[in-house]
Structure 1
Amino acid sequence: MTEPPFGALLCDIDGVLRHWPPLDEIERAAGLPVGAVAAVAFTPPLIDAAITGRTTDAEWRAAIVAELAAAHGSADAAEAAVAGWSAVLPRVDHEVVALLTALRGVIPVALVSNATTRLDEDLARIGLADVADAIVNTSALGVAKPDPRVYALAADRVGVPAARCLFVDDTEANVVAARAAGMTGVHFRTAADLRLALTGTSQPG
């Protein structure tokens, strides 16, 4: 690969490298309304504690079971839904994987994710344990994107000044925060956004 106009790539995981399917069938099979798991799992304070390491992934999922059981009156349904969700494998964007693979050895590549303590295990399950030179997991940092400390710590991890880092994320607020930290930020929608960014021809937004 031709050397890109950046000194390092910092890349989000969810919504960029991997994509989770809907849980409709799992929730219906368990007897829960569609959307019930996400309505509990991804709202504060549960998700905030999980992605900043105040609770482990196992503790987070146990809390979700308890909340679902209380909300819907069935511990069995809650346990079945969370067990089914926990076993789901995401779709991997192999076009993004190919871009990261080609880039490694040219410049450092790091994954920067608001993730739980299960991230390493999850990446290994889908064959992505070695897709990057470093993994910056916010549950190990104690702070999550868009906190500016995440960007400083990620740049430090790859040994490249923030001004020389390209940050790619599907969440616009995280991209805005990266730009405020002095990085070049790209709002990811498709792999084409990343490909263009690596040539220095993408437009901000």
Structure 2
Amino acid sequence: MTTVDAVVFDYGGVLTGKVRHSIAAWLEADGIEPESFSRTLRAWLSRDAEDGTPIHRLETGELTIEEFDALLAAELVTVDGTAVDPVGVLARLFAGMRPDQAMFELAGELRDLGIRVALLSNSWGNTYPRERIDPLFDPVVISGEVGLRKPLAPIYRYTSDLLGVPSDRVLFIDDAEPNVLGARAVGMQALLHTDADTTRAALADLVPGLSRPLTAAPRT
């Protein structure tokens, strides 16, 4: 990777804790067989899934949250054989997500150093803290609001155009490998996010003046 003029952040799993932790808590609380959710996720979101799955249509705003909740609930199996309540399924799925303060601080530091920071997120109907993200990120691109979705090329090009920065001077950060590969396919630099310290360390190599993560104190 080379020096960048703009950094584009994903939301869920990058600016928040890991989405899988929230999902695991929801599956346990609702008594849902994890394999029934995993099976549905593979069918609707895997790399070889046909276009137009319910997740695709949710992400582009073609399905309402209520419509998707009903479709997802119908695919799930509970441990006791009862039906899954379709009302508020997505709200319960994302209930355990919390902002990652270290990542928000990283975005703020980048902006203070003159780097453009933007947000590019596939929406599953989850509520975004607009009062926090709107003052920090410019632009804010939410898939359901623009009718485009990752990892397809148009949403990356759309974001680059809004930034006014050539694609090869943009670094995209996401926790999902297909989305990282999609960004690279249109000429963006891209980084697979695992945790705040690792991402900060990678960015410190690209952005002069960005502080590196604190190293752990040696054990005695």
| TM-aligned CA deviation for residue 29 of structure 1 | 4.5
Letter in 1 for 2:147: G
Structure 2 stretches lacking a partner, 5+ long: 45-52, 208-220
Query: Relative to structure 1, is the Cα distance of residues 123 and 47 closer, same or farther in structure 2, using a 3 angstrom cutoff?
Result: same
1:85 partnered with 2:92: yes
- Alignment partners' CA distance in 1, 2:90 and 2:159: 32
Amino acid in the other structure paired with 1:185: A
Whether the 8 Å contact between 1:103 and 1:109 is mirrored in structure 2 is: yes
Look up the SS of the partner of 1:53 in the other structure: coil
C-alpha displacement at 1:46, in angstroms?
1.7
- TM-score of the two chains, using structure 2 as the length reference: 0.72
- The unaligned stretches of length 5 or more in structure 1 are none
- Residue of structure 2 in register with 1:14 after alignment: 12
| 1:134 maps to 2:139 | yes
TM-score, normalised to structure 1, is 0.77
The aligned amino acid for 1:178 is: A
1:58-77 equivalent positions in 2, closer than 5 A: 58-68=66-76, 74-75=82-83, 77=84
Q: Secondary structure at the match of 1:104?
A: helix
The Cα offsets for residues 154-176 of structure 1, whole Å up to 9 and x where unpaired, read as: 11121211121111112223222
Tell me the number of residue pairs that the alignment of Structure 1 and Structure 2 aligns: 194
- Where 1:91 maps in the other structure, the secondary structure is coil
- Whole-Å Cα distance in 2 between the matches of residues 43 and 123 of structure 1? 30
RMSD, matched Cα = 3.2
Matched, 1:94 2:94: no
SS of the equivalent of 1:167 reads: strand
Match of 1:179?
184
Distance 1:89 1:130, change over 3 A: farther
Q: CA–CA distance in 2 between the matches of 1:49 and 1:179?
A: 24
Identity between Structure 1 and Structure 2 (%): 29
Check whether the contact 1:8–1:108 (CA below 8 A) recurs between aligned residues. yes
Please give the secondary structure, in 2, of the residue aligned with 1:48. Answer: helix
Q: 1:93 to 1:31 in 2, by over 3 A?
A: closer
8 Å contact from structure 1 (residues 26, 84) kept in 2: no
- Cα distance, 1:14–1:29 mapped onto 2, change above 3 Å: closer
Change (3 A) 1:38 1:137: farther
Query: Which amino acid in 1 is paired with 2:63?
Result: T
Q: Residues of 2 paired with 1:123 and 1:110: CA distance?
A: 15
SS in 1 for 2:118: strand
